[in-house]
Amino acid sequence: MMRLAVRSFLLAASLSCTAARAGPVEVGPVHSLPSAWHGYEATIRQEARLVPVAYETDVLVVGDSLGAVAAAVSAARSGVSVMLVAEFGFLGGDVTAGLRPSLSSREILPQGTCGVFDEIATALANAEALDGARHDPEKLKIVLDELCTAASVKLLLHTFVTGVALESEAITHVIVQNKSGRQAIRAQVIVDATTLARVVRAAEGPERVNVAEPRSAVCTLRALLANATVDAESAVPLAGEHLVGDKALLYPAHGIRRAVLELRRPVRLHPSDPRGLAREEGRSRRQMARLLDALRRQDPGLADAFAANLSLTADVNFGPLVKTVKRLTAQDLRRGEWFRDSVAVTRSAAVGWSGRDLWETEVAQCGCEVPFRCLLARDWQNVLVAPPRLFLRDSERAWLEEPPLIAALGQAAGTAAAMAVKSGRPLDRLDLRALQQQLEREGQTVRVRR
């Protein structure tokens, strides 16, 4: 395919997803369509328009998690051009905007498992922003920004994915929207590291994503409490009549007299239902306020506590939204399974949600390998996925979300993307042994040691 210059344009009619432009739109006849098409009974036909191809890059990473940062940094260090697109004005995802209190469920961070993650932990420790596994989210934002800048990653923040352009089984352009308007980004390889798989779902379109059916999900909201004294060293489950059907945990946090209050609620809605998402987020915030009021009355250590900060958005866990070539199972974790194409190792149990209680799967003491096939999008030949959660195949309510693992998977995706660009090979035809050797040189553990 002929390469497009930066000033070239895409015809909006060729895009799989468009949105209304600013200013008046000439509306034609109203057409009735089945309500399953995004839940709407009518549509309008918008005239085609030109979208500027504002950027060209070898690797495009979409997302703001530690996995997205690790993917962008590792790809850039491999010598290819990289752009990172994120919705907020900072990076980190769950461990910054989501106020996750710790970089690991263990009291001490695992070392020597992921090169980029180890760099992040070292930078936090040098900035006196790491206490065991508990971190300062504000300083972490600075660390991640400096890490990307040093690796020459082009950052495009405050930017939202609105669609894609397709050619055969590849995504050639990602369409984004920000204060500069609608723009297209051309990329050879794309890493979708978003929670809701925004790039892949935009490519699949409404015909393949049944938005009419709600699904069970977990809505998580966290509050950073100041003037809070928590004696425990780990999470404390909370109980009370105000928590009917909900789950609440109180964590010690980095800093003096700080804690994180976490509320998890079972909900039923669909990822493409913005009104439902807003409704459930509002309910979570009101429940959080009631919960904090009750804790002030019951716990002397929280009598003067107040919410200094809340998660920017409620994190709604919908289960797997992307079809990958491979998904791990709970049996793989218990056995400590080996895979020839392993690119990372997890020693953490998967977290599960029964609709009322949290639970954990068993994991072999030696750990379990994670194969490269877990990162390969099944339907799109130039797309890798590095989501903030890795869901198990036999239980859509069980997932792996430890930050060291998420960063390791992102690093594997970024390194593989760079190899595909430089070698000209499809992602599913890469030299896996060369990929593993490169990851090991970068300080990542790719094999279980028995």
pLDDT tens, 400-413? 888 999 999 999 99
Task: Give pLDDT, residue 25.
Answer: 32
Residue with tokens 């920000």: 178
* C-beta separation of 390 from 324 below 8 A: no
What is the share, in percent, of the chain residues with pLDDT greater than 90?
A: 46
Long-range Cβ contacts of 279-285 (<8 Å, 24+ apart): 280/219, 280/314, 280/316, 281/219, 281/221, 281/313, 281/314, 284/219, 284/221, 284/314, 285/221, 285/310, 285/314
Flag whether pLDDT at 5 surpasses 60. Answer: no
Task: Give pLDDT, residue 46.
Answer: 74
* C-beta separation of 100 from 312 below 8 A: no
* C-beta separation of 219 from 281 below 8 A: yes
pLDDT band per the 50, 70, 90 thresholds, residue 396:
low
pLDDT band per the 50, 70, 90 thresholds, residue 32:
very low
pLDDT band per the 50, 70, 90 thresholds, residue 110:
low
Average pLDDT over residues 420-426: 95
Residue 163 or 112, more confident: 163
Most confident of 151-165, 379-393, 395-409: 151-165
Comparing CA positions, the residue from 123, 122, 100 lying closest to residue 111 is 122
Task: Give pLDDT, residue 81.
Answer: 98
Task: Give pLDDT, residue 414.
Answer: 97
* C-beta separation of 385 from 323 below 8 A: no
Secondary structure class of 212 (helix, strand, coil): coil
Task: Give pLDDT, residue 275.
Answer: 83
Residue 209 or 391, more confident: 391
- The amino acid occupying position 372 is F
Query: What CA–CA distances, in Å, run from 116 to 57, 81, 220, 412, 431?
Result: 22, 18, 27, 11, 22
What is the overall mean pLDDT for the chain? Answer: 83
Q: What residues does 390 pair with on adjacent strands?
A: 400
Comparing CA positions, the residue from 428, 448, 255 lying closest to residue 344 is 448
pLDDT in tens, 184-234: 999 999 999 998 888 998 888 754 545 556 777 788 899 999 999 888 776
* C-beta separation of 133 from 106 below 8 A: yes
Average pLDDT over residues 156-163: 94
Secondary structure class of 139 (helix, strand, coil): helix
Task: Give pLDDT, residue 19.
Answer: 38
Task: Give pLDDT, residue 31.
Answer: 31
Lowest mean pLDDT segment, chosen from 178-192, 224-238, 356-370, 381-395: 356-370
Lowest mean pLDDT segment, chosen from 250-254, 350-354, 413-417: 350-354
- Indicate left, alpha or beta for 39 from its phi (over 0: left) and psi (-120 to 50: alpha): left
Task: Give pLDDT, residue 39.
Answer: 54
Distance between CA atoms of 118 and 348, rounded to whole angstroms?
17
- The amino acid occupying position 410 is G
Burial class of residue 29 in the structure, from the number of CB atoms within 10 Å of its CB (0-12 exposed, 13-18 middle, 19+ buried): exposed
pLDDT in tens, 303-361: 999 999 888 777 776 666 778 899 888 888 888 889 999 999 988 878 776 656 667 77
Buried b (16+ CB within 10 A) or exposed e, 58-84: bbbbbbbbbbbbbbbbbbbbbebbbbb
- The amino acid occupying position 365 is Q
pLDDT band per the 50, 70, 90 thresholds, residue 112:
low
Distance between CA atoms of 11 and 50, rounded to whole angstroms?
5
DSSP state of 364: -
DSSP H or E run through 331? helix 330-335
Average pLDDT over residues 53-64: 96
Task: Give pLDDT, residue 389.
Answer: 86
